[in-house]
Amino acid sequence: MTNVFVIGLGLIGGSFALDIKSVRGHAEIHGIDTNEDHLNEALDLGLIDKKAGMEDLEKADIVIVAIPVSTSLGLLPEILDLVRDDAVVFDVGSTKSLICEAVADHPKRRNFLAAHPIAGTEFSGPSAALKGLYKHKVNIICEVEKTAFKLQEKVLKLFADIGMRIRYMDPASHDRHIAYVSHLSHISSFMLGKTVIEKEKNERDIFDMAGSGFESTVRLAKSSPAMWAPIFEQNKANVIETLDEYIGNLQQFRELMEKGDFEAIYNEMENTNRIKEILKGINVPTP
């Protein structure tokens, strides 16, 4: 029997629990969460088989760390202290540089794999967990060479069995790229929601006039601030760089509007339309 410990029983951790149950029938899923209600809910929903504590990690074969990145930084070294030499620990955080630095000098660094599954929804908590969430999704692995080969094999086989596609990337490149395709999207969505709420004091008017375009654009504004504020903090420099470029493009668009240069606006939009071809057949990251 394989003992799998999931630390953090929200959307990401809970979905891993469901998928592992579907491909590893012999696995026993143990849940660790500081929120007792989440633990009870995960047990009731069948995401986990047992509640557990940090002291139980000595029994773990696989440990999945699915908690906010700011918490992972302090907890990962403690987790590595507690696991056996043949156990593998992987995190699923949306930033990787500081995570990798936090365990760089740990005696059991070889037991850790830095991962980022590019999957998710705007919902959170155990009830948000989805079976099959990771099928055909990209999983970015950083510093794979620092993980013991046999442990790499174990966890990469698991990722393959639940249908994930693997990409390898260094932590700095990961954090820079993800700021553009994920973090900026969430900021844009939050700020669009803020702008509309502040402008439209009558909320009924918003709901009556909101079409599918607004709904899809603002969808990410429903994401958990408890999850995203630490992500922005951990990737601050890259996020600011992407914001500068985004704000520059918005300012340019505003200047074209002021000038009444709608031919230039048309050309800007037409040039951007090629993103349809770029994204054709690609899973767009939505952590």
Where does a domain end: 171, 190, 209? Answer: 171
Region of residue 16 (left: phi > 0; alpha: psi -120 to 50; beta: else): alpha
Where among 128, 146, 171 does a domain terminate?
171
Neighbours of 161 (CB within 10 A): 13
pLDDT at 81 over 90: yes
Within this chain, do residues 8 and 105 fall inside the same structural domain, yes or no?
yes
Position 213 pLDDT exceeds 80: no
Residue 7 inside a domain? The answer is yes
- Residues 6+ positions from 285 with CB-CB distance below 8 Å: 118, 138, 178, 181, 182
**101: in domain:** yes
The pair of structure tokens assigned to 5 is 């410990």
Tell me the CATH number at 178. Answer: 1.10.3660.10
pLDDT tens across 53-80, in order?
999 999 999 999 999 999 999 999 999 9
Report how far residue 95's alpha carbon sits from residue 176's, in angstroms, rounded to the nearest whole number: 9
Q: Using an 8 Å Cβ cutoff, are 62 and 91 in contact?
A: no
- Are 87 and 202 contained in the same domain? no
207 occurs within a structural domain: yes
- pLDDT tens, 138-178? 999 999 999 999 999 999 999 999 999 999 999 999 999 99
* Domain-ending residue, one of 150, 171, 192: 171
- Residue 219 domain boundaries: 173-279
| 284 located within any domain | no
| Same structural domain, 7 and 125 | yes
One domain, residues 153 and 22: yes
With contact defined as beta carbons under 8 Å apart, do 114 and 142 qualify?
yes
Residues 166 and 180 in one domain: no
Is the domain of 156 the same as that of 70? yes
Shared domain check, 198 and 167: no
Q: Residue 282 has what pLDDT?
A: 55
91 found inside a domain: yes
Please determine, for residue 281, whether its predicted confidence score (pLDDT) is greater than 60: no
Please determine, for residue 208, whether its predicted confidence score (pLDDT) is greater than 80: no
Residue 133's domain is classified under what CATH number?
A: 3.40.50.720
Alpha carbons 80 and 60: distance in angstroms, whole number: 11
Considering the domain architecture, whether residues 25 and 74 belong to the same structural domain is answered as yes
**Residue 26 domain flag:** yes
Average pLDDT value for residue range 221-234: 89
pLDDT of residue 286: 43
Q: Are 179 and 166 in the same domain?
A: no
Looking at the structure, do residues 133 and 207 belong to the same domain, yes or no? Answer: no
Please state, in angstroms and as integers, the Cα–Cα distance from residue 78 to each residue in 71, 238, 259, following that order: 11, 28, 59
Q: Which amino acid is at 69?
A: V
* 264 and 249 inside one domain: yes
The pTM (predicted TM-score) of the whole model is: 0.83
Looking at the domain assignment, is residue 42 inside a domain?
Answer: yes
* 102 CB neighbour count, 10 Å cutoff: 18
Question: Would you say residue 286 lies in a domain?
Answer: no
What token pair was written down for 25? Answer: 């029938």
The domain total for the chain is 2
pLDDT single digits (tens) 165-174: 999 999 999 9
Same domain, 25 and 123: yes
Name the band, by pLDDT with cuts 50, 70 and 90, for residue 220.
Answer: confident
Q: 235-264 pLDDT, tens per residue?
A: 999 999 999 999 999 999 999 999 999 999
